Structure 1
Amino acid sequence: MNGPGKIYNTINKCRICGADSIVDLINYGEQPLANSLKKHRDDVEQKIPLTLSFCKQSNHVQLKETVNKELLFSDYIWVTGTAASTKRFAKEFAQRVIQITNLQSHELVIEVASNDGTFLVPFKELGFSNVLGVDPAENLKTAALQNGIETITAFWNKNVSEEIIKKRGRAKVVMARNVLPHVSQIFDVVEGIRCALQDDGVAIIEFHNAGTILNELHYDSVYHEHLYYFSINSICYLFEKYSLYPFHADPSPISGGGYVLYLSATRKNKSKSLLQFMEQEESNKVNSHESWNRFAERCVEHKRLSREIIDKYYGRRVIGFGASARSSTYLNYCEFNSGNIEAVIDNNPMKQGQFTPGSSIPIISMEGGLRRKPDIIFILAWNFRHEIINLCRSKGYRGDFIVSFPFEPKVIQS
């Protein structure tokens, strides 16, 4: 499927350094696009190989297949503001950004891939009203405008950055939260971030940490939207090409464990926390080929254990919770379907009434799920597991839970 007009192509050189030294780690099989929910159970789906690879020169972990970005992102169903914990973190995030960057109320804040504007809303609430979102999904622009966030519909790049500069001037802060792993034309995106910043501006990059993926076995985060799996080492290598230098990092709870990295156009002393994270990465051998080969072996074992747990509940009512993109890789890799999991609860109304990609499991509301009186609830959106367990308990559910990640799948008894 390589070539013009095709929906994907396969790389043979590293996405970061360009070396032809990439090797396969694990193939998760032919997978549907993780956010391509189906209107009907029997809808025909396009399936694409999903192969995780490693570059022996840059030590960067990356996906081998690149899917057409218009197919992936022009109509997007992941809505940032769905989870209450995300909204709480958005408020903390804004306060932290204001503190570290010394942001002034008149200065421009841009968010790249701003989704429904959830992470810009707290800035306005705190009196920093000069905010702007940029996102390619027209349906999310509508949601953002309802949240009071001005949003441009576009794929971020240097040209978009220059157009914003003409109309609004340069920004004190450009944020890109969990977006860089998604972009095939990453150099254009990073150049656009650098271009948009004023001289004392700060780029703020949030990303799912490769070290956490490696250690806690987050292979469900591997899907076609995620082309890059950054360590601090590899993401700093990328940004330093464009004269943006890291000076601070905070931990992020999003995606089950990540970093918020702060970069400036002038070299500054690295903060204690950033130095500590870099040392941890080195001691944990996050950038080692051998470590990632072991990761692949652990994925195979995790699949076996997941099948073993679900097989014990054969003939009983298993209801999933969280029809997330990352659950799609997990469900399809483990070959689960509606014969194993009767339905999946999701609190996003845009997903309800549809079917999970590949596995063809109906997606229903929480009320609909609990009315089915599940024998056990299988938490697929495990990074929100505490919130989900508390919510289910508050609605009267007293049964057990299966939690898919981190580490090995496990049963949490009531």
Structure 2
Amino acid sequence: MILKIIDECRISGSSNLLPILNLGTQPLANSLKKSPMDSEDKFPLSISFCPDSSLLQLNETIDKKTLFKNYIWVTGTSKTTKRYASKLYNQLIQIAAPSRTDFILEIASNDGTFLQPFIKNYYTNVLGVDPAVNIVQKANECGIPTLSAFWNSSLAEELLVDRGAAKIILARNVVPHVSNLSSVIEGIATLLDEGGIGAIEFHDAGKIQSELHYDSIYHEHLCYFSIQSITFLLNLFNLIPFHIEPSLISGGSWVIFFSNKQKETSFALQRAVDLELQNSVNSIEKWENFARLTLKHKDHTLEMFNSIYGKKVVGFGSSARSQTYLNYCGIDNNYISAIIDNNPMKQGLFTPGSSIPIVDIKSGLGLNPEIIVILAWNFQEEIISSCLSAGYKGKFMSPLPNKLHYVEKS
């Protein structure tokens, strides 16, 4: 069965789920098409809130093999991401103080961008785990030891026997994607060395609320964690958060650091917890207001695009989140002529639902656009810089945060 409807909280098991927002039926965000005429499956996309665990979650689960076995998102296509990989490496080394032979693991390591700094600095016991066969092959070809598999508690037990406990376990932007949450976190708890350090990156529910990131809702993202709800989940497996850092990418994410041993809570974590409480992030009222604002954003988007109809408009960034935005608002190839994307695996294909051609920057700017819509708005500065460097003279628009707006050139 490809689709399963979820009627209980993914972490507490409570059936006390409160419906928040329905984004209609949508194609899978990364199911790019070879032709705009290709048929495609569409699935319901909606979220609910559990007041018992404070988790905002998707009501639908798509079979993980359908979603992830062959994947087109490649971490290393962004310069910003590569810079962030270096910074996160330094943070982990400072906090965990591993030896050069300690076991260092990344779950859902993709092309190995975030493991490269360890290898370049002569850490010899490094491993990535990722289910996407095509991307794992690329990672291994680039010298990043990577195992093609879905992470779970059984795999953790195998690795514990084969390689011993891990000093560092990194899970960037993956825990919100998994349907078997208990097995995934249990696996981390099983493999983590005594006093070892884990780090999970997740899109901050508070930022989703305050900046209206409804574009982050798509079938791969099953959970939308607040600090309170991710702590609830970790505590179920005797894992204790002690520090938090903002992510430089992903448009408003946290990296939460935790251990199986009690460590002093950092000022940064305590401050973030206090702000979340102060802003009532984990209240049903805030999520109901989020839903109302999302409906208004859709109306505003259609007004703005209708006001520029007839102008040559090109998008930049065929990200998964852009597909939610385009399909929910009904923006298709009648409004946007093409979308520029730096990932060669996407170029020459068409977006799901909206059927917009995906091109490289030379081809996109060759259409002489009057307006570029920065769909991957979390990389706004990098995108503007790339376009200006390539000679673009027109205007920029960004759909988010908060509302579709024109952007000043930097």
TM-score (norm 2): 0.98
The aligned residue for residue 138 of structure 1 is 133
- Which residue number corresponds to residue 371 of structure 1? 366
**Aligned position for 2:108:** 113
Does residue 402 of the first structure (1) align with residue 397 of the second (2)? yes
CA distance in 2, matches of 1:295, 1:238: 24
Q: Which residue of 17, 26, 30 maps to 2:25?
A: 30
Partner of 1:64: 59
Match of 2:321 among 323, 326, 337: 326
Check whether the contact 2:198–2:257 (CA below 8 A) recurs between aligned residues.
yes
Counterpart position of 2:45: 50
Letter in 1 for 2:98: L
Instruction: Report the CA distance between 1:127 and its aligned residue.
Output: 2.2
Say which is worse superposed, 202-211 or 287-296, in terms of deviation. 202-211
The letter of the residue matching 1:60 is L
Question: Match of 1:163?
Answer: 158
SS of the equivalent of 2:161 reads helix
- 1:266 paired to 2:261: yes
Match of 1:177 among 172, 175, 194: 172
1:279-312 C-alpha deviation (Å, 9 max, x unpaired): 0100111100000000000101111111111111
| Structure 2 residue corresponding to 1:220, chosen from 215, 225, 228 | 215
Long gaps (5+) in structure 2: none
Q: How does 1:170-319 map to 2 (within 5 A)?
A: 170-319=165-314
Cα displacement string for residues 214-247 of structure 1 (whole angstroms, at most 9, x for unaligned residues): 1111000000000000001000110111010011
The correspondence for 2:354, drawn from 316, 334, 359, is 359
Per-residue CA deviations over 1:321-350 (Å, capped at 9, x if unaligned) read 000000000000000110011111101000
Residue 100 (structure 1) aligned with residue 95 (structure 2): yes
* Other structure's SS at 2:22 match: strand
Structure 1 segments of 4+ aligned residues over 3 angstroms from their partners: none
- Aligned-residue CA RMSD in angstroms? 0.9
Counterpart Cα distance in 2 of 1:75 and 1:185: 19
Question: 1 CA distance for matches of 2:74 and 2:365?
Answer: 23
| Aligned residue-pair number | 409
* Aligned partner of residue 250 in structure 2, secondary structure: helix
Whether contact under 8 Å (1:399, 1:413) holds in the other structure is: no
Percent of matched pairs sharing the same residue: 50
- Structure 1 Cα separation of the partners of residues 89 and 118 of structure 2: 6
Whether contact under 8 Å (1:121, 1:147) holds in the other structure is: no
Does residue 89 of the first structure (1) align with residue 75 of the second (2)?
Answer: no
Report the CA distance between 1:163 and its aligned residue.
1.4
The answer to whether 1:78 aligns with 2:73 is: yes
Deviations 1:358-407, CA, capped at 9 Å, x for gaps: 11111111000011100110110000010000000000001101101111
The 1-side partners of 2:157 and 2:8 are apart by: 30
1:56 deviates by 2.5
Q: Which amino acid aligns with 1:211?
A: G
* Contact persistence 2:80–2:249 (CA under 8 A): no
Q: Under a length normalisation based on structure 1, what TM-score does the superposition of the two structures give?
A: 0.98
Give 1:413 shift: 4.8
- The equivalent residue for 2:4 is 9
Name the aligned partner's letter for residue 7 of structure 1. I
Counterpart for residue 382 of structure 2? 387
